[in-house]
Structures are given as C-alpha cells and as structure tokens.
C-alpha cells in the first residue's frame, strides 16, 4: 500500500467494497480514509475478489504470486499486475487461468519484457496491455518534472533524487 497502491484504492473507493491490503507497515491514514484493513498476504489472497499488485521487483518479491499463492485465490478472483512482471510467475498464472483456478487476469507488465510469454497470450480470461499503465498526461508530466529535478540536483553537485542502482 505504497503511493500507487493508495491512489488505486482511492480510485476504487466508488465500487463500495472492503479494502484489504498488505504492507510492511500499517497505513493508518489509508485505513481511516478508506476503511482499509491490513492483513497478511495469504488472507488477502483467500478473501479478495480482485488482487491488484503495486510493488517493485526485488529478490524478495520475485514470484511472490506463485503457483501456491494462486491456489489460495477464489476461482472467481481477478489478478491485476501493473507493478513489475517478475512479481508473478507467468507459467503458474497461465496454468491457473487455463484450469480455471482463478477467474481472470489483467496484466500490463510481464516477466522478460518486452517479450510476453506465449502461455499468457494463449490463456483464457486475460486482458493484456503493452506496459502503458502510466500513459496518462498527468503521469508523464510528473515523470518529466522528476527527471528535470534530478538533472538540476546532479548539476548542482547534489545526489540524484531518485538514483538507480546498477546491477
């Protein structure tokens, strides 16, 4: 329930459902504002009709949504991933969709981008987009401003505001 997850929850508030989230730390403001409830990932997967992922790819989050995680979900549940591709095990997801283990998936990111696994292209009940979730005027303007602030900081001898670590 970081910045993007919070914005997603705000946008979904109009659908009048219960909001469950998982996070390293409680988000009291979100809990008060949206009536959200922090739970462990396993409970979130078991109880949610829609699971929307908004987290970075790290060694700890790689295949967070695995075959075992997908087995916890309702057979009518929808998995949305607009975070990072490696968070979801693509083969396990394609299998879960093929067998009806979950109801559907909406993906804007994929393991091994820019390639999209054929198994996902062939999977039923999927909506696949080409990593364009941030393609709004507001988001792109904000990105441009952040780049400019980074350039100015570095030219002034300060560290970059949002440095990228090299592997």
Same structural domain for residues 147 and 126? Answer: no
Per the CB < 8 A criterion, the answer to whether 90 and 117 are in contact is: yes
CA separation for the pair 19, 29 (Å, rounded): 13
Same structural domain for residues 59 and 83? Answer: yes
Pairing of strands 50-53, 78-81: parallel
CA separation for the pair 27, 37 (Å, rounded): 9
CA separation for the pair 103, 25 (Å, rounded): 30
Phi/psi for 148 (5° steps) reads -60, -45
Domain hosting 17: range is 3-133
Same structural domain for residues 98 and 156? Answer: no
- Please report the pLDDT score of residue 29 as a whole number: 85
Which residue in 111, 100, 110, 54 sits closest to 77, CA to CA?
100
pTM: 0.81
User: Poorest-confidence range of 7-16, 55-64, 92-101?
Assistant: 7-16
Answer yes or no: is pLDDT of 66 > 90: yes
Per the CB < 8 A criterion, the answer to whether 45 and 72 are in contact is: yes
Same structural domain for residues 84 and 129? Answer: yes
Q: What angle do CA 97, 99, 101 make, to 5 degrees?
A: 70
**Per-residue pLDDT tens digits for 52-63:** 999 888 999 899
How many independent structural domains does the chain possess?
2
Answer yes or no: is pLDDT of 104 > 70: yes
Same structural domain for residues 124 and 50? Answer: yes
Same structural domain for residues 91 and 153? Answer: no
Looking at residue 81, which CATH number applies to its domain?
3.40.50.720
Alpha-helical segments (H) within 25-136? 28-34, 41-47, 67-72, 90-99, 118-122
CA separation for the pair 92, 78 (Å, rounded): 14
Same structural domain for residues 88 and 141? Answer: no
Per the CB < 8 A criterion, the answer to whether 87 and 117 are in contact is: no
Active-site residues, by number, are 84, 113, 131
């Amino acid at each position: 329930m970081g910045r993007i997850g919070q914005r997603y929850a705000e946008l979904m508030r109009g659908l009048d459902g219960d909001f469950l989230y998982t996070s390293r730390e409680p988000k009291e403001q979100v809990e008060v504002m949206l009536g959200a409830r922090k739970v462990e990932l396993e409970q979130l997967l078991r109880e949610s009709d829609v699971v929307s992922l908004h987290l970075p790819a790290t060694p700890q989050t790689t295949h967070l949504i695995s075959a075992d995680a997908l087995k916890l979900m309702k057979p009518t549940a929808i998995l949305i991933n607009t975070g990072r591709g490696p968070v979801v095990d693509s083969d396990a997801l394609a299998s879960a969709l093929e067998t009806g283990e979950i109801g559907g998936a909406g993906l804007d990111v994929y393991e091994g981008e820019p390639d999209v696994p054929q198994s996902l292209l062939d999977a039923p009940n999927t909506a696949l987009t080409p990593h364009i979730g941030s393609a709004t005027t507001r988001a792109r303007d904000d990105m441009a401003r952040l780049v400019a602030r980074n350039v100015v900081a570095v030219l002034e001898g300060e560290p970059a505001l949002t440095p990228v670590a090299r592997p």
